[in-house]
Amino acid sequence: MSHTFNITRSGNRKHKIAVIDGPNMTSLGNRSKQVYGTIASLKDLQDFVTGFGNDLGVEIETFASNYQGAILEFIHESAHRVDGYIINPAGATTIGEAIRHALQDSERPVIEVHFANISAEPAMPRGLNSGKLISTFTHSATGMCMGMRQYSYSGALLAMVQALDDATFLGAQD
């Protein structure tokens, strides 16, 4: 899947953005097509996000794990080299307090993403069959993008890059 985007940026710094996918995202492609669409695998999603990042002129570092401890270790060891995080906490959405703390302690902007609209009723398009979720991440995330399947990542990435290019935005670095 190849895409080319022509997006004008206000800066020219090559930001490095870490994209983290949490528990259950490794089974992408085997999940509800109504919620998750036709993305066939986690690798396809990572390729999509990396390609979009390249088109924006930023470097993307992807990381995925079904284990919260591995996600914590990745955040701790990457905080010095990345400019921001995009995270789909997935299976850790309601129980990922330690991950949330690590992201907050990184002092980097964080955008929470979800394929599904986690606030929607189950009968709504892209609502979860299990019903609404209350995320532990939302109250400390810089922003959130959800309900747009893989395009939630595109929206989050574009917003992150534009925010980092804006010297007046919270979390921007020179």
Which of these is catalytic: 15, 36, 85, 153? 36
114 is catalytic: yes
Instruction: Catalytic residue, from 3, 76, 80, 114: name it.
Output: 114
80 is catalytic: no
State how far the Cα of 144 lies from the Cα of 153, in Å rounded to an integer.
10
Rounded Cα distance, 71 and 74, in Å: 5
Cβ 82 vs Cβ 59: under 8 Å:
no
- Confirm if 23 and 64 have CB atoms less than 8 A apart: no
Structure tokens at 121: 């009723």
Enumerate the active-site residues.
36, 114
